[in-house]
């Protein structure tokens, strides 16, 4: 029992599911990670196509099989009139308002784009955009109610 005495023992209980705020943060963080990968691959001249599993039924036998198909990732950035690159953050189909009346970040080139996306990912993971995510999530959910 001397080994157990060296450990810090606590009365902890694993939660059944993540809180809604944390699930939303994780979802947005994953989407920003995809944007980072897309920006890096475009800067290198490659293509980035994440894959997802899809269930397909064979017409002849009726057996369902799982196959991987490429998923399209649309870029969140564009070239502004001034020639600078602007990037916005999207939650579903909604653009998040990063500051009052401002929904995009202006960067100079592809290297700054990746750094900006990484900074936005850190902001999401630390909870700085929770209020904006909540507003966007509520707006998205209201579209599904009858």
89 to each of 10, 33, 37, how far by Cα in Å? 39, 12, 15
Is 63 within a domain? Answer: no
Asked, for residue 126, whether it belongs to a domain, the answer is: yes
Q: What is the pLDDT of residue 146?
A: 64
Quick check: is 127 in a domain? Answer: yes
Number of domains in the chain: 1
Per-block average pLDDT, block size 10, for the chain (146 residues)?
Answer: 83 85 91 94 89 90 91 91 90 88 89 91 91 86 74
The reply to whether 146 falls in a domain is no
Task: Identify whether 119 is part of a domain.
Answer: yes
What pLDDT was estimated at residue 37?
94
In a domain, 15, yes or no: no
Sequence-ordered list of residues with C-beta below 8 angstroms from that of 53, at least 6 positions apart, any chain? 66, 67, 68
- Does residue 14 belong to any structural domain of this protein? no
Q: What is the pTM of this model?
A: 0.79
Q: What is the pLDDT of residue 30?
A: 93
């Amino acid at each position: 029992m001397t080994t157990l005495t060296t450990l810090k023992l606590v009365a902890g209980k694993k939660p059944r599911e993540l809180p809604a705020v944390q699930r939303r943060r994780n979802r947005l963080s994953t989407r920003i990670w995809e944007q980072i990968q897309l920006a890096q691959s475009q800067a290198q001249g490659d293509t980035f196509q994440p894959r997802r599993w899809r269930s397909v039924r064979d017409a002849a036998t009726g057996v369902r099989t799982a196959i991987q198909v490429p998923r399209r990732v649309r870029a969140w950035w564009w070239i502004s009139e001034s020639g600078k690159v602007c990037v916005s953050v999207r939650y579903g189909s909604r653009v998040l308002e990063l500051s009052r009346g401002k929904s995009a970040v202006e960067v100079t080139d592809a290297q700054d784009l990746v750094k900006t996306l990484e900074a936005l990912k850190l902001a999401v993971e630390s909870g700085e955009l929770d209020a904006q995510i909540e507003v966007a999530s509520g707006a998205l959910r209201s579209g599904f109610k009858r």
